[in-house]
Chain A
Amino acid sequence: MARLVEVAKLGKEFANVRALDGVTFDVEAGEWIAIMGPSGSGKTTLINILGGLDTPTAGRAVVDGTNVATLDENGLTRYRSEKIGFVFQQFHLVPYLTAVENVMLAQYFHSTPDEAEAREALGRVGLGDRLTHLPAQLSGGEQQRVAVARALINHPKLILADEPTGNLDEANEKIVIDLFHQLHTDGHTILMVTHDLSIGCLADRRIELAHGRLLQILRARPGI
C-alpha cells in the first residue's frame, strides 16, 4: 500500500504549552487509524494539523504529497476542501440548512453543488427519507450520519473523525461505527480520535499519545 500520511517530528506549542512534541508516524492509504490518549494528550491538535485547521510549530505533516506546514491561508483552504473530510463530535451542521443542503455546502466550497449526488450520499448513510429535515429535526445519530455524508461527498483522500460517537447513545454509536467500518472496507483512509478502546480496537492500528508525545503504536489483534 502507498503511504498517504507522513508525520515527522511534529510539534505544536500554544504560548508556553507544548501540545505536540516530536510526533512521528506514517499512515498507508486505506488504513483505519485510531488515535487514543487521555485529555490534553494532543489528539485533537494532531487531527487539526492534519486537517489544515491549525499549523505546526515544528516538523512535517505531509498528506497526499502536500506538506501542511508550508501552506498559507489560501493553500490550507484549498487543501481542506480537496483532501480532507471532517466528522466532528458535535456534528457541526449548519442549523438553518436541511440535511441535503448541509451536504451540498461542502460541494459548494469544493466545486459545484450537485443535489442529486448529495441525495445519493445521504441515501448511502440511510437518510434517504430525511433529506429536507433541519438538523434540529434529526436525532444525534442521524445528524452524525449527515456529517459523514458531508465528509465523503468530495471524495477526500483522508477522513478525520474527532470522537464521532462521543455524543451518541449506544444504538446510534453502533450505526455510526458500522458506517465507518463500511468506509474502511470501501478503501477510505480514516484517522479517528476516540477514548473508547472497543472502537480503537476496530482500527488497523492504534496511536497512543500522552502529554503531546507518541507513546506507542499498536496493531490490531487478529480476529477483533
Chain B
Amino acid sequence: MFLRLLWNLLRASRGRLTVALVAVVSGAAVISALINLDLDAGKKLTREFRTLGANLVVEPPRAPGTGPTAPALLDDAVLARVTALRTPEVVAEAPYLYVVAQAGGRAVVVAGTWLDEARQLEPWWKIDGEGVVSRDDLSRCLVGQNAARLLVVAPGSPLELRSGERSVQLTVAGVVNAGGAEDNQIFVNLPVAQQLGGLGKQFQVVQVSVAGAGPAIASYAARMAAALPGIEVRPVPQIAEAEGLLLARIRWLILSMELLILVLTALCVLATMAALAMERRQDVGLMKALGGSISRVTNLFLAEAGVLGALGGLLGYLLGMGLSSWVGRRVFDAAIAPRLEVLPLTVALMMAVALAGAFPLRLLGKVRPAVILRGE
C-alpha cells in the first residue's frame, strides 16, 4: 500500500514535481560533471602542465668552487641510461648542448638537441615554416625570430654556421616564435652542435618533462638519481610548486562550485516543496484523522522526495557524463571517460538535497486535523 500511495502521490503532483525534478536533474548534471572532471582533472591538468616545459633536469655534478666558466659535460653513456629509464610518465626528454657560433658575421647561440623531442618539451613554440621532425636530420635547423631578423633569413634560406675552423651548411626549416630567450637562438640536432663545438658525443644537460604533480616528479627524480650515481638529477622547483598550487586551487574551485550548486538545488526543491506542502495540508489532515501517525504520513512524503532525488540524480548523472565529456574536449582537447563510481555519489547527494529541500513537508506533521477538516 505504501508503494501504491507513493505512486499515486507522485502522479497527482507530477506538475510541481516536474519543476523540482528539473532543478534536481540540472544540479545533478553539473555536479556529476564536476565530480567526473575533478577525478580526471589531476591527470588531464598535469598533462596540460607539461606545456610549461621541462620540470626535471639531469646535469653534471657541481663541484664546490666550480664556476660557470668551466661547465662540466655529460656523455652518451648517461644519455643511454636516461633513455633506458624512460617510463610512460615521461612526456618528453632531450639532451641540450649550447655552443656559440658565427652566422652572417654575428655571434649566435646554437642549441643542439633532439628537435623531435624539443617540440614536445616546448609546445608553446609557434613555427613559421616547417618543424624538424627527425633527430637524424642534420641538414636543417630552426631559427629564433630575433635571430632570423638579424641574419635576414626565412624558411628555405641557406645558413652557414662557423665555430673556429669548423663549419656546417644548413637550410632554415622554420622560424621559431617562443616569446623568450629562444627567439635569439638557432636550434639544430645534437650532432650538428657537437660537430661545431668539437665536443664529440658530449652535451651539457638533459631536460625531462614528467607528467604528474610534485610528489610524482620527486619520485621519478629519485629513481633517476639512484640509477645515475654521481649525476645531479633535480626537479625544477618553481614549475613543480606552481603546478601543485594551481591543481589545489582548481580542485578548491570545483568543490566550491559543487557546494554552491547543492545549495541552489536544495533551495529550488525547497520552494517547490513549500508550495506542495500547502496543497497537501488537506490530505495530511485527513490522513491524520483516519489514524495516520506523524511518522507514517511524513515518511510517505519523504519517500516521495527520496524518489525525486534518486531519479533526478540518475538522469542528471547521464547528462553530466555527456557534459563532462564535452568540457573535456573543449578544455583539455581530450574526452573525459564517464566514471560509474560517480553515479552512486551523485544519487546520494541528490537524495540528500531533495530530503533537505523537503523540509516544508516535514512541517505537515504539525498539521492539526480538526483545523484542516473545518476548512481553515
Contacts and interface: CB of A to CB of B under 8 A. Distances in A.
Given A44-B374, A53-B370, A80 B289 contact: yes
A87 to B, nearest CB: 11
B12 A81 contact: no
Q: DSSP majority for the A interface?
A: helix
Interface string B245-272: 0000000000000000000000000000
Contacts of B296: 109
B291 interface: yes
What interface size band does chain B fall in? Answer: 20 to 34
Contacts of B369: 53
A184 interface: no
A162 B289 CA distance: 13
Nearest to B11: A96
B278 interface: no
A94 interface: yes
A86 B8 contact: no
A92 B373 contact: yes
Interface in B272-315: 282-283, 286-294, 296
Contacts of A53: 289, 368-370, 373
B375 A104 contact: no
Contacts, number: 71
A81 B11 CA distance: 27
Contacts of B9: 96
Contacts of A90: 373, 375
B221 to A, nearest CB: 68
B4 interface: yes
Contacts of A48: 370
B293 A109 contact: yes
Q: DSSP majority for the B interface?
A: helix
Interface residues of A, number: 32
B13 to A, nearest CB: 8
A110 B291 contact: yes
Given A95-B12, A96-B9, A96-B12, A54 B370 contact: yes
A80 B369 CA distance: 11
A101 interface: yes
Contact of B291 (A44, A73, A80, A96): A80
Contacts of A86: 289-290
A108 B11 CA distance: 20
B292 A109 contact: yes
Contact of B286 (A51, A73, A77, A92): A92
Interface string A9-38: 000000000000000000000000000000
A97 B8 contact: yes
B84 interface: no
B4 A101 contact: yes
A69 to B, nearest CB: 15
A73 B294 CA distance: 9
Contacts of B290: 80-81, 86, 105-106, 109, 150
A44 B375 CA distance: 13
26 contacts: A53-B373, A73-B294, A77-B288, A80-B289, A80-B291, A81-B291, A86-B289, A86-B290, A88-B373, A90-B375, A92-B282, A94-B283, A94-B287, A97-B8, A101-B5, A104-B1, A106-B290, A107-B1, A108-B2, A109-B287, A109-B291, A109-B292, A109-B296, A110-B291, A113-B1, A150-B290
Interface of A: 44, 48, 51, 53-54, 73-74, 77-78, 80-82, 84, 86, 88, 90, 92, 94-97, 101, 104-110, 113, 150, 154
Interface of B: 1-2, 4-5, 8-9, 11-12, 282-283, 286-294, 296, 368-370, 373-375
Given A84-B291, A109-B293, A109-B296, 19 more contacts: A54-B370, A74-B293, A77-B293, A78-B291, A80-B291, A82-B291, A86-B290, A88-B373, A94-B286, A94-B287, A96-B11, A101-B8, A105-B1, A105-B5, A107-B1, A108-B5, A109-B287, A109-B291, A109-B292
